[in-house]
Every structure is written in C-alpha cells, then in structure tokens.
Amino acid sequence: VPLWIILLAAAGIILLAVFLWWLITATEGVYLGRRAVIWLYDLYATRYDAIKQINPRHEAVYLAQPILDQMPRVRAPLVLDVATGTGRLPLALLAQPTFQGRIVGIDLSRRMIAIAAHKLAGYSSRVSLIHHAAEALPFPNDTFDLVTCLEALEFMENPRAVLRELARVLRPGGLLTITNRRGLYARLMPGKVASNDQLAELLRGDLSLERVEFQGWQVEYQIVRAIKPGHSLPAGPRLLPEIWQCPACGQIEMVDEGDNWRCAACGGRVPVGADGVIEADSSSKKTR
C-alpha cells in the first residue's frame, strides 16, 4: 500500500477521533439532542463526583456561603435547584448550620438523581427530589426564594426557554443563581454558550431581572446572579404538596401515599422510587 494512502487513512482516523471526542466528551452530547445528553449523564453518573473532584470546604466557601450572604433576611428559604445532578447544591446548602430552608432538586437523569438521593438521605425531611425536565417546571409562578441551575444550561436544547422558566417560578425579590461557561470548552460549544454581555442582555432585557452580576468561580465557570424585581414575602420552607402541580391536571392537590403521590383533584398518580425520588418525568408515561 502506498505511503500516502496510509498517511491519509491515519489522518482520517485522527480527525474522526477528535470529532467524536468533541461530540461526546467536550460538548457532552448537546449537539445530538436531549436524549443523548441524559443518556451520557446516566452513563457517567457513578463517576461524576470523582471526575468533578468536588471539595466540601470549597463548596461551603465559594458556593453556599456567597448564596446565603445574598439573602440575609431569608433565614429559611425555599430553594429550587434545577439540574441538581448528584445533589451538589443541596448538599452544600444543607451543610451550612445557618441554612434552615427546604430544597427541591430536579434532574432528568435518573441515575444522577439516584446518587443525589443516596447522598442526601440524611436530610430527607428537607429535600424533595423529582425526576423531571427543566423545560417545564411543575410549580406556579413566583414560588421560590432562590432558584439555582449550575453547570447545566449549556447542555440544554433551549437554554433561553429554561431561563424563562427559572425566572417564572422565582418570587419577586428572589435570587437567581446560574453559571456561565467560559474558557476553552466554552469556545468549543458554538451557539450554546452566551458571552457575558449577551447573557446580561437576556437577563435584564427579555427576563426583566435586576442587579445582574458575574463573579469568577471556577476555571471553567462563572457564577451569575440576578434578582427578580418587586417584593413579596419569603416563601419560607413550604412543603412539596403546597407548591407542586399535578402533572396531569396542574392543580396543587398532590397527596403523599408513601410509594406514590395521588392528585386529590383528578386522581392522577405519580410513583416514588425505592430511593425516594419522585418519578415525574412525563416521557416515562408513569402518571395516571
């Protein structure tokens, strides 16, 4: 075989390997659609924490404490963590003695949220975990004191629509905390990562949020904070049945029956996994 054919084949194989690395590892399947992203998170779930090398002391100092510092007057906030993954944000907040609130975590990867359930088992009275997509949140407008979504928006098909959902369920005066990717990997995700100016414009313009600030956080991510304009009383540590809309009829009438939740309005049922995770992902067709 002539040398030029061998070189051409080798170049082709290298290019293919680089392309697959970009498609699957660098961009976590986002250009292949939501199912691919979730499939990859399911696949990597057991290794996620080891890959991230999350350090509890750093989480306390650089994640939980700055959030609590932003909400000095809300001692027991009601928190929604969208794309909670293996429970990083709930764990960081609950480890703070000054945090007296309740947290709802949602994620579409069943295996990621199963690990969150395992890690958060000691806090089960203060955390509810729901297997659910970020795109349509099952809560009324103006519900939560704090809405967070860390290291996840860029892996969603329509981050702008999800941001709208996050702002919708945040109460007036509530705090939104998200992340924006930066560095090499951000440049490898064209059309998926906004510049700070674009994101600020979206938060201030389209979503009418105020006091938008960016803060360095990790090499790969910045923390972005914003406040929903207006004032309302803190939601406080409300329980899930007070805020969760039935996936079938939208009413807030869900009754806890142990291994499932039943809607008192329409009779729809949502099962609960053995690990306590509420199985409300509509694509799994388990409701009603």
Ligand X SMILES: C[S@@+](CC[C@H](N)C(=O)[O-])C[C@H]1O[C@@H](n2cnc3c(N)ncnc32)[C@H](O)[C@@H]1O
Instruction: Write out the residues near ligand X by the rule CB under 6 A.
Output: 34, 37-38, 41, 83-85, 88, 107-109, 112, 133-135, 150-152, 155-156
Tell which residue, 204, 225, 73, has the closest CA to residue 149.
225
Output the DSSP codes for 173-240: EEEEEEEEE-SHHHHTSTTTS--HHHHHHIIIIIS--EEEEEEE-SSSEEEEEEE-SS------S--G
At position 265, the amino acid (one-letter code) is A
- 86 or 234, CB closer to ligand X? 86
- 173 or 178, CB closer to ligand X? 178
Report, in Å, the least distance between residue 115 CB and ligand X: 9
Q: Which residue is nearest to ligand X (CB)?
A: 85
Report, in Å, the least distance between residue 87 CB and ligand X: 8
Report, in Å, the least distance between residue 85 CB and ligand X: 2
- 27 or 84, CB closer to ligand X? 84
Give CA torsion, residues 129, 148, 151, 116, to 10 deg.
-20
Give, for 141, the enclosing helix (H) or strand (E): none
- 27 or 109, CB closer to ligand X? 109
Rg of the chain on CA atoms, in Å: 20
- 74 or 83, CB closer to ligand X? 83
- The contacts of residue 220 (CB under 8 Å, 6+ apart) are 181, 182, 183, 185, 186
Report, in Å, the least distance between residue 187 CB and ligand X: 18
- 112 or 117, CB closer to ligand X? 112
Q: Is 29 helix (H, G, I), strand (E, B) or coil?
A: coil
Output the DSSP codes for 41-101: HHHHHHHHHHHHT--HHHIIIIIIHHHHHH-TT-SS-EEEEET-TTTHHHHHHHTSTT---
Sheet containing 210-216: give its strands across.
127-131, 102-107, 78-82, 144-149, 170-181, 221-227, 210-216
Report, in Å, the least distance between residue 228 CB and ligand X: 21
Report, in Å, the least distance between residue 16 CB and ligand X: 26
Report, in Å, the least distance between residue 153 CB and ligand X: 9
Cβ–Cβ < 8 Å for 80, 137: yes
Tell me whether strands 221-227 and 170-181 are parallel, antiparallel or unpaired.
antiparallel
- 85 or 247, CB closer to ligand X? 85
- 67 or 133, CB closer to ligand X? 133
Cβ–Cβ < 8 Å for 222, 179: yes
Report, in Å, the least distance between residue 281 CB and ligand X: 9
